[in-house]
Structure 1
Amino acid sequence: MTAKSITLLCYSCMFFVIYKCVGGKGQQQLQNELSCIEKEECGACLVSGPHCRWCADPYFRNGEPRCNDDESLVQAGCSQGMIQRQRPAIWEVIENRTLQDVHSEDQENVVQIQPQKIRISLKPRESKKIKFSYRPAKNYPLDLYYLMDLTWSMKDDKMTLVSLGDDLLAMIKNLTDNYRIGYGSFADKPAMPYTYMDKNRKENPCTVADESCEATYSFKHHLSLTTEGKEFIEKLNSSSVTANVDNAEAQLEALVQVITCSEIMGWATHSRKIVILLSDGLMHTAGDGKIGGTVLRNDEQCHLDENGYYSESLTYDYPSVAQIYRLLKNYKVNVIFAVTNDVKRHYDKLHELLKGFTHVATLESDSSNILKLVKMGYEEIVSVVDFKDNSNIGPVTIKYFTDCGVPGAQFKEATRCEDVSYGMTLNYEAVFSLKSCSEFKTVNQTIYISESQLGQDSLSVDVEIQCGCDCESDRLEGMSNTCPINSRRVCGVCQCDQGWMGPQCNCNIKDFSPSLDLLAQCRENYTSGVCSGAGDCFCGKCDCDRGFNGRYCQCKTCEIDNENGLECGGLDRGTCMCGKCKCEEGWSGVACDCTQSNETCIAKGSDQICSGRGDCVCGQCECWTQDGYISLYKGAYCESCPSCPNPLCAHAEPCLSCYLNSSCIATCDIVRIDDMDNYNETEFQNSDAIHCVLRNDGCDYRYVYTKSNNESSSISIVIYNVQCGIVNTARFMNVGLAVMTCVVVIGIIMILVYKCGQIVSDKRAYAKFVKEVEASKFKENQLNPIYKSPISQFTLPEEYPRDHFE
């Protein structure tokens, strides 16, 4: 080999190394650039990917993309001090007081939700999980207001309630020591056609019954909330009935006054507010007032005079159901409708519209069961916990997951928990998500998460929505004049004012008419259509249709993860690159929804992936099959096998054995469900519940077990089926006898079926044979059907003249 050849080979090797290491950019960096360079605004640039940066230097070289990764911007001449980056993530617990029950000496500092205030930040396609706990406080204050129908038909009910006054107060005291009670009554509007308006009946509407009663009124407040039970009984006893014409009353109108007149009623800030409404009549709703001349819409305001009467009943119409729902929700008031059976269906329909804030109970004709109804209604209300929030006012969405206070239970998506008792701690997880930016600005949104019936305790979450940049105005003074008219300098570039578009911001959107020059700017190349056929061209810029993006609308939107509803699974999973998701390390799939981690495939108490019987695919176990047949193993961890012992059950068998031997320790929690009807199988169909069978002393104990989320050593076992008293030998004999009997019976049936089929077939063959024989016989004097005579005969027509031939 000559020296020239060696030199040429060396230069070739050096060129190859330089091309690979320096001359050509790596694939990763190239992909990063492709997801950034098309963005023309700082906000849109920073939210397009975690690696995207924006150069805010007004002297940055023209032609170079301002949106790029760090390395590319520095190489293009942008100084580090002018590079805009995403703001740092925020996660801060500001207030975190411990859960506190109600104490007589300090009733205002009750704490039912923990923590109380958190501050976080959200970027587009990002989710953050917040954990909080809720525990109903013991002896929480109760404000109970009795709203009674005092029309003539409820006269006996009032007397019954007076006679049960002491028992009523004692019953309420058994529910809670910390209570106050108030009282009000209602009838109907004192106007035609609801009441008689002649002078005698107006002053005494009970004249027909030769009784004396109070003039008709819409609502009257008798007693503000107080701890004096005797005063409640006295006010109830001294109140008199009234009368009206129709069977519909002003219940909703009275409810508005009870709810809105907070100071007069005496509603406490920290209390559970319950109104018990007793009635045997129907109710007037919005629109009914127009018959009596009250055409103005109910203003939802307090209008009580000095005597406690509703003073504007002849001015405003009855409220609508929607208005009542809004007031119940805003003031956190619950209503128990105690009504007679003949109108209960009417109130059931109302309850469907006011669900979550009302309860309907059947009242006896004389109200004798009022104590039972109050107790049942109160217990039903306090046993339900349901969380609401105000996230609908902004772009942030929230999903809730909870264990509903069950130790060791898996979290399920829900906001509502039932059968909640005092002392139970409900654990919640709230997942905050921001799918996209409505505008490229950094704004703040405060979200309040509160229990729907007790809004006094709430979790306040301050969310910083990071969609903008810190360079709203140019950093270099004196540069604003370099921008054309109808524009301003933002983050180093000139941006058109609202209503103007185009390279020189001289295109008025209102007066826009398309031209060839502007349309050409909306084409990616000469062969492509305007905005790739997926958008409209306005002033030289493409307005893309839904589902498309890019400068020329040439890219489709990426796949959405079904689990969290975010594009490419969210900011921490992948980035959208012109219709395809580029997944981060540890994720794969078309929507970056397939995790490569094996943690979710390992059962608690085990160190094997899928119990050593399957593969972990996208975070879930796929059990192995044998020779292509259905796998013998089932379950979330492939732990279940009908014909083999479950290795995961070995962790729970000691606890169950000690329970059967009455020698359990504190870490073993056993629950018996002997009645199979009460076993809710779907409750245990989750990734943490392990199904097992233990045979002990001739009994089969079928159970599921879970490990507590709080203590790794705690095990919760639910025994849902026990079978005892059957000897295995006898069981096998019974099974064998049953199998033999079935075989014999099935055999006899098959023989009979075969015999019947044979007989039918023979009959059909014989009938066919007889028919063929009959067809082959010739009857007497009957010619052969295939015989043809050799004689042909022709007849001359009658009309033909015959004399010529005669």
Structure 2
Amino acid sequence: MFTSLGTSLMSPACLAEGHSRTERQRSGCVGAIQTMRKVWLTVVVLLIYFTEQRGSMGLDGRCLSKPTCTECLRSLGCAWCKQKGFLAQGEPNERRCDREEALRKRHCSDGQVLNPQPAIRSRAEEPMGTVVQLEPQNLHLKLRVGMPQSFEVRFRRAEGYPIDLYYLMDLSFSMKDDLENVRNLGLEVVTAMKNITSAVRIGFGSFVDKVVDPYVSTVEAKLANPCKEGYKGPCQPAFSFKHVLKLTEDVEEFERKVSKQSISSNLDGPESGFDAIMQVAVCQDYPSVGHLSQVLSANNIRLIFAVTDQHIQNYEALSEMIPQSVVGLLEDDSSNVVELISEACNNLSSYIVLEHRDVPPGLGVSYSSHCGDDRLAQGQDRGECSDVRINQQVNFTVTVTSSSCLSKTESFIIKVQGINEELRVTVETLCDCDCQDSEEQSSQCHGNGTFHCGICSCDSGYTGQRCECETQPNKDTSLAVEALCSPAQTNSTGTPLCSGRGSCVCGQCICWGQHRGQHCQCDDISCNRHNNMICGGNGRCDCGNCECFHNYTGPACECSTLTDQCQTSNDGICSHRGQCECNECHCHPGFFGSHCTKPLAPCDTYRACVACMLHESAKNMCHHPCGSAKPIRINGTQSFTCQDDTVRFNVELIINTGDIFVYYTDTPRGIDPWIINMGKAVVGIVLLGVIVIIIYRLMLEVFYQRERRRFLKDKENIWWEDTQNPLFQEAVTTFTHPMHVLEPDADCATSTFGKIKQM
């Protein structure tokens, strides 16, 4: 069984019947399948007129300058100043192209800055009385290259709008049991659909298979009666598609038409379901999946595939390739078809997809979906919201960006899948200058050209930024004039005029910026730097070379010729232990510090010297390990910087002479190492024994506790039962006292021993 769902569409069959526009929109031959008419959902588009940042601000806040106004406006973040006299003599036209903020700082007055801003405006609305879902129906965007422009789309799922259901059924022989249920389907479907909307129409069509071999048997007898032998019911010849009933509100007519249908048969498993859908949609045959998907989407048709369990996987894979389609599991006898249609209709109508079509090259469209409940998705290729309830509003922000200039005004559409209304967006790019200040024979051009948008277009025979120079009558003379703007030693062909740093005006270089010189070969910013300053801040840059101030030298004037930082009032330069270079001490090996006053690793350096001095017999041989240091023996117990088990000493540098003194003393005699080692061994043995005892005692305690728990558990399991031994008889002793006799008439009963009475 094959059932499908969609919005209203126009087929050639409808047009052939001559219906009016309104009637055709409600016609039963529109569509294969359930059609959601154009008032089913309400979409409202609100414009956001953005107060953009000034056009001078590109994505990175910079502008790549261009020499003409048109090129400038096509450069991201740029504005153009058309003001007369804005440029200084020889200043290039590129200086007119900059960020708007920079142009205004350079005193380009109001009204003279060209910086067109992006804009959105709504165009003509539909006439009054026309049912409108999408507002406005048309938008016009003015875009600057690289500057995104956004507007908001608000969508509200409405309640109570008509639904058109076109039931398309497979009448092959395997569906003979289902046909009986379908004959009574009309009233049940309408009743179920009225839970969604108050207005429902229903139509019917059927399909079997292509009437050609190998799809059906072409034997003449089988063409007339294709059903299996032994089948006694009515059997009609096979057909590809048959339109039975157009959309109607008359449920009884639906039942009458369907009751007249009879089963047919074919040979192969697949039937012509796709052919039937295409016939219903646009009266074409033999579709591919891609073609079918395109046609259904273009005609706003939504499909419900109602299939049995053995085919559901195939149709689920197919549904992924067809937008706005859903697959439902159908019982073998189609008994659940009403519930399936109702559920699928709700699922399709609650999933909202906003998309664009026919976008011209150079434009990019993205979406941000605001689906309520703090659900927000940004940077989508299309807007999507699921589980949208009736009367729930969802918002989409649509962003359009132009990556290049359009040669003409272009347009594209934005629409909701399954809805036949659309928002048409026309786009133009702001890439041309509308200066409206053309002035022929302008004084700005020395009367030799036309002034337009701030620059001169020179008449024939004149050249220069302001047409101030006459062009030379022959090539040789012209080259000679240009040669005046090139360095004499590099005037070969291809050498840039004015060193590429200025304009050649009538044989004279007009340098740009900080450049100067006859051929603009010099500038005051290309000298060496020190501490991120030109000439270290200690000189003047002259044509690429530093001219250092007094007391400074070096390629970047980084070196001071003074020595005041290398000495103090009490010592010599670098404490006699280094050289002063650029007013900084460079210490000899073994010393460091700003004035070389600190010995490097003194303890390691002079330990051998002190050890030598402590051996009395070797004192006269200590000049080699001590070097120029002067060892001095002292008495006392003061602390020493350098000390270990063998030596104790201090090292001191006398600043004013540069002499090094090593003050040392004997190391106090300590305890005999053998005794210390023996003590350590004894302590270790005792400690080990204590640890072993503790471990043994803990293990023993664990064993006792385990045995105690076992005893207590066994005691709890002992149960003593009191029973009477059958062999046991209680002992009885009878005796007679000679002085007493028993009274036979005693009132009380005789006990074991009897009642005794004195005789």
Q: TM-score, normalised by structure 2?
A: 0.46
Higher-Rg structure is 2
